[in-house]
Amino acid sequence: MLTFVGLGLYDERSVTVEGRDAIAAADRAFAEFYTSYLVGADVDDLEDHHDTTIDVRDRAGVEQDPEPILSAAEDGDAVFLTAGDTMISTTHVDLRLRAEERGIDTRVVHAPTAESAASSLTGLQNYRFGKATTLPFEWAHGADGVPDSVVETLEANRERGLHTLVYLDIKVDHPRIAGDAYMTASEAAGLLADNWDPDALGVVVARAGAPDATVRADRLGALADADFGDPLHLLVIPGDLHHVERDALAGLADAPEDAL
Amino acid sequence: MLTFVGLGLYDERSVTVEGRDAIAAADRAFAEFYTSYLVGADVDDLEDHHDTTIDVRDRAGVEQDPEPILSAAEDGDAVFLTAGDTMISTTHVDLRLRAEERGIDTRVVHAPTAESAASSLTGLQNYRFGKATTLPFEWAHGADGVPDSVVETLEANRERGLHTLVYLDIKVDHPRIAGDAYMTASEAAGLLADNWDPDALGVVVARAGAPDATVRADRLGALADADFGDPLHLLVIPGDLHHVERDALAGLADAPEDAL
């Protein structure tokens, strides 16, 4: 049996009780942190908390060499741990399909996601979000500014009055940089202010799920000059605002009256 | 302090470890189950598991008479429990804003949502979903068939190649019916087959988060004739399919080859 367990958004206590029990019951535990990671816990913290040994796989160790995971799941109970909910990335879906093809039973234990936290923390209603998009580092997408596809998504949602969740680029173990890189919300707001609309309202969600989670709404131009502390950050570009959403941005995200 | 704790999708073990700890540390626990509920646990199960007493409030007891909740949060630590993630409904945002206005600190403990589970279980990628919609009972929206707004959302997403998550109507304590009513995915597929497109591909997600969670993809006309068991159900109408998504619907949702 291969159980995919989402670890949630922040630390070793962000997993569900069901997920914790699945980890405790497993013979082997694997994890990947290249699609996302926990800000408040490293692998040692997780191993201590769950009293287990975790085999962390890099992208190649999941996509090109999944054999150790699959054979552990064939011979006994294995868990595969990811930050946030699980199966959000194609890399997880692909692993699940390979397991199913080999006749290995699979199970999913859900966890909170950045996407639902963004809605939850800002008071912006989840059914009023359109398609999400990801803003890449300029050096990563190989051109200056903001890709057309990002602007198209923002414009198409705006036209329909919908909010846009903008995921910010994460580069882990990238050959072109030393260390890992996480785009900040101010960088993102600056890119969008310079290449799209500096007066558009933006809502920063910093460290969703952490005890010091921060939400701040202002014009993109103003957000670009602010500092929201440690990663991970998200940016939401609101569409039309329902009156409770407006109250929430004023009351919970310090939105200036004249920006709403 | 008022802490909003999401209980997750299925039973008393669907809450995060952080949420469980917040419930244990609270002086008073309140809950509402009119926006959603846990299929696998009733209030007694929750009270036993968390060794606490839970004061369940109906809609009027949250929206018109929040005083007992607010004063408990003013005098000590109170938790407010909801199924799924919390703050998803305006009723929760409104309560949080009232608390903040009274100078009561608030905190949010996230939990899995049906929305992310739908993406997770079907293998459909979360960033390829457009705006979600809710399909109401015919008797509840006061006209035959499917509201124009639902069809407009489906069409607008389809035009952009995006998936649509269709929430199915829930009526709890409704004056026009005895007992509670949960629209099934077959009812929903039937309504959409009759009033929109019987050949459109649909993906049923039944009991997301439960041990017997079921995912099934087929044409709406075929899904309308099937039985997916106990609630809660969701329906996804996929847009364009990425090849891993196609493989996932075939491998995990038994989609007939000729429907993909």
Let me know: does B62 contact B33? Beta carbons within 8 Å.
no
Q: Residues 45 to 84 of A: which have CB under 8 A from any B CB?
A: none
Identify the pLDDT of residue A112: 93
Q: Do B83 and B191 share a structural domain?
A: no
Let me know: does A59 contact A91? Beta carbons within 8 Å.
yes
Identify the pLDDT of residue A178: 74
When CB atoms are compared, the residue of B14, B134, B248 closest to A93 is B248
B238 part of contact set with chain A, CB < 8 Å: no
Angle ∠(A253,A254,A260) on CA atoms, nearest 5: 90
Q: Do B197 and B73 share a structural domain?
A: no
Nearest CA in chain A to B100: A251
* Between B126 and B158, the higher pLDDT residue: B158
What's the distance, CA A4 to chain centroid? Answer: 17
Q: Do B240 and B224 share a structural domain?
A: yes
Least confidently predicted of A73-82, A93-102, B87-96: B87-96
CA B95, B100, B103, B109 dihedral sign is positive
Q: Do A21 and A148 share a structural domain?
A: no
Which residue is listed with tokens 């649509």? B164
In whole numbers, what is the pLDDT of chain B averaged over residues? 94
Q: Which residues contact B258 (CB under 8 A, 6 or more apart)?
A: none
Let me know: does B154 contact B196? Beta carbons within 8 Å.
yes
Nearest CA in chain A to B247: A97
Identify the pLDDT of residue A34: 86
Say whether B131 and A162 touch across the interface (CB within 8 A). Answer: yes
Identify the pLDDT of residue B106: 96
CATH of the domain at A28: 3.40.1010.10
Least confidently predicted of A16-25, A249-258, B88-97, B145-154: B88-97
Q: Kindly report, residue by residue over A105-127, the tens digit of the pLDDT.
A: 999 999 999 888 999 999 999 88
Say whether B131 and A133 touch across the interface (CB within 8 A). Answer: no
Identify the pLDDT of residue A4: 97
Question: From the CA of A185, how many Å to the nearest CA of chain B?
Answer: 19
When CB atoms are compared, the residue of B20, B111, B213 closest to A112 is B111
Identify the pLDDT of residue A180: 82
Say whether B209 and A110 touch across the interface (CB within 8 A). Answer: yes
- Give the count of Cβ contacts less than 8 A between chain A and B: 181
Backbone φ and ψ for B184, nearest 5 degrees, come out as -85, 160
Identify the pLDDT of residue A172: 74
B88 part of contact set with chain A, CB < 8 Å: yes
Residue of A87, A96, A121, A152 to mutate when probing chain B, most B C-beta within 10 A: A87
Query: How is residue B95 written in tokens?
Result: 């309560």
Let me know: does B45 contact B33? Beta carbons within 8 Å.
no
Q: Do B203 and B179 share a structural domain?
A: yes
In whole numbers, what is the pLDDT of chain A averaged over residues? 94
Q: Do B233 and B133 share a structural domain?
A: yes
Q: Kindly report, residue by residue over B235-259, the tens digit of the pLDDT.
A: 999 999 999 999 999 999 999 999 8
d(CA A81, CA A31): 4
B251 part of contact set with chain A, CB < 8 Å: yes
With a cut of 90, say whether residue A132 has pLDDT above it. Answer: yes
With a cut of 80, say whether residue A88 has pLDDT above it. Answer: no
Q: Do B193 and B253 share a structural domain?
A: yes
When CB atoms are compared, the residue of A17, A85, A120 closest to B86 is A120
Q: Do B93 and B178 share a structural domain?
A: no
Q: Residues 103 to 132 of A: which have CB under 8 A from any B CB?
A: 108, 110-113, 115-117, 119-121, 123, 125-132
DSSP tally for chain B: helices H, then strands E: 11, 12
Say whether A16 and B17 touch across the interface (CB within 8 A). Answer: yes
Q: Kindly report, residue by residue over B80-128, the tens digit of the pLDDT.
A: 999 988 887 888 999 999 999 999 999 999 999 988 899 999 999 988 9
Q: Kindly report, residue by residue over B177-212, the tens digit of the pLDDT.
A: 777 889 999 999 999 999 999 999 999 999 999 989
CATH of the domain at B124: 3.30.950.10
Angle ∠(B223,B227,B228) on CA atoms, nearest 5: 95
Question: Looking at the 3D structure of chain A, how many domains does it have?
Answer: 2
With a cut of 90, say whether residue A67 has pLDDT above it. Answer: yes
Identify the pLDDT of residue A78: 98
Say whether B16 and A21 touch across the interface (CB within 8 A). Answer: no
Let me know: does A3 contact A106? Beta carbons within 8 Å.
yes
Q: Which residues contact B42 (CB under 8 A, 6 or more apart)?
A: none
Residue of B126, B129, B153 to mutate when probing chain A, most A C-beta within 10 A: B126
SS (H, E, C) chain A: CEEEEECECCCCCCCEHHHHHHHHHCCEEEECCCCCCCCCCCHHHHHHHHCCCEEECCHHHHHCCCHHHHHHHHHCCEEEEECECCCCCHHHHHHHHHHHHCCCCEEEECCCCHHHHHHHHHCCCHHHECCCEEECCHHHHCCCCCCHHHHHHHHHHHHCCCEEEEEECEECCCCCCCCCEECCHHHHHHHHHHHCCCCCEEEEEECCCCCCCEEEEEEHHHHCCCCCCCCCEEEEECCCCCHHHHHHHHHHHCCCHHHC
* B17-25 vs A17-25: helix crossing angle, rounded to 10: 120
Q: Do A122 and A101 share a structural domain?
A: no
Question: From the CA of B30, how many Å to the nearest CA of chain A?
Answer: 19
Q: Do A74 and A27 share a structural domain?
A: yes
Identify the pLDDT of residue B34: 86
With a cut of 90, say whether residue B228 has pLDDT above it. Answer: yes
**Where in the sequence is the domain holding A48, given as residue range(s)?**
2-109
Element (H, E) at B47: helix B43-50
Let me know: does A117 contact B113? Beta carbons within 8 Å.
no
- Of B109, B133, B167, the position where a domain reaches its end is B109
- Of A57, A77, A109, the position where a domain reaches its end is A109
- Of A48, A81, A109, the position where a domain reaches its end is A109
Q: Do B174 and B78 share a structural domain?
A: no
Identify the pLDDT of residue B129: 94
Q: Kindly report, residue by residue over A173-219, the tens digit of the pLDDT.
A: 777 777 788 999 999 999 999 999 999 999 999 999 998 999 999 99
Least confidently predicted of A50-64, A154-168, B137-151: B137-151
- Tally of CB atoms within 10 A around A149: 12
Q: Kindly report, residue by residue over B39-49, the tens digit of the pLDDT.
A: 899 999 999 99
Let me know: does B132 contact B166? Beta carbons within 8 Å.
yes
Give the pLDDT mean for A62-70.
96
Which residue is listed with tokens 């038994």? B254
Give the pLDDT mean for B146-160.
96
Q: Do B121 and B60 share a structural domain?
A: no
Identify the pLDDT of residue A179: 75
